[in-house]
Amino acid sequence: MLIFMMVFSLAVFAKVSVAQDDDDDDMEEPVEMDEETWQAQMDEYTARKADLQTQIDACNAEINTLKDKLKDTKERETNAGMALWSLVGSKSDYEAYKTKFADAEKRVNNCKGPDDAMDIEKNVWPAITDGGNKGYFKCLDEFWSRYNAMKKKIEDCKGKVDASNYTVVKGDCLSKIAGAKYGSSKLWPAIWEANKNGVVSAPPKVAKTIPNPNLIYPGQVLKIPALTDAQKKEMESKSSMYKGTKKKRVSKSTTTETTKKTEVKKVDTTKKK
């Protein structure tokens, strides 16, 4: 090492000398390093080397510590995974369940009415609710919120009436049609609101709109909207409101007719006299 450092020092000085000669030939020649100065530099480099080696050793120790932590983390992850699969079911069953779940989600999102909802509950839902050990697959984070959303949609779909059309015949009224389509005549406002600005179709010279719910005509093809339970309650409330309005009008009309009859009787009495 000592010989190496001496050769290295001579090479450095030689390079410096050449550079100085090229830059300025008149510059003074470098002063040769004495043994004491050389030893001082060697001691400095040795101390610096020892310091760097200490830093390297510290880094290696930290790397080894991190490796041990990584190994421990991977082992715990593996053990946790094994515990999870032993609890909910095998990984291969999970992959199959994930496909079934996605298919069921599409089916539920496209549910058309009570019959469709019943078919989903009978033929699709069991695979979703019972998947995995004790039906635990649905409890995994990636499924749980979606499972509850599907469950709610099925319940809503049960109270939903399929949208369809109806052709008015002689003797029909909106309450009669609502009774046949929805099972409740009180839901007639739903049909009126869906058609008052335009029916599906109508024969020539027959009104294409229904501005008055009491006036519908044979041949008009009406839209029968699908209703959820919430919409049914809303329409029943509107039906009661319209009914109250109608009673008030009838009462007023009846009073007027009674007044007219009384006046007529008075006139007749006068004539007799």
- The pLDDT assigned to 88 comes to 87
Burial of 9 (0-12, 13-18, 19+ CB in 10 A): middle
- Domains annotated for the chain, with CATH where assigned, are 91-158 (no CATH), 164-258 (3.10.350.10)
The two tokens of residue 234 are: 């809303």
For 149, the token pair is 């959303």
Q: With a cut of 70, list the residues of the chain below it in pLDDT.
A: 1-31, 160-163, 243-273
DSSP conformation letters of 206-254: S-SS-SSTT---TT-EEEE----HHHHHHHHHHHHHHHHHHHHHHHHHH
Backbone dihedral region for residue 216 (phi beyond 0: left; psi -120 to 50: alpha; all else: beta): beta
For residue 108, the tally of other CB atoms under 10 A from its CB is 22
Residues 6+ apart with CB under 8 A from 181: 161, 164, 166, 191, 224
**pLDDT at position 9, please?**
65
Report the distance separating Cα 94 and Cα 179, nearest Å. Answer: 47
Which is nearest to 93 in space by CA: 127, 141, 123, 142? 127
Q: What Å distances lie between residue 45 and 50, 54, 55, 56, 212, CA to CA?
A: 9, 14, 15, 16, 104
User: So what's the pLDDT on residue 27?
Assistant: 55
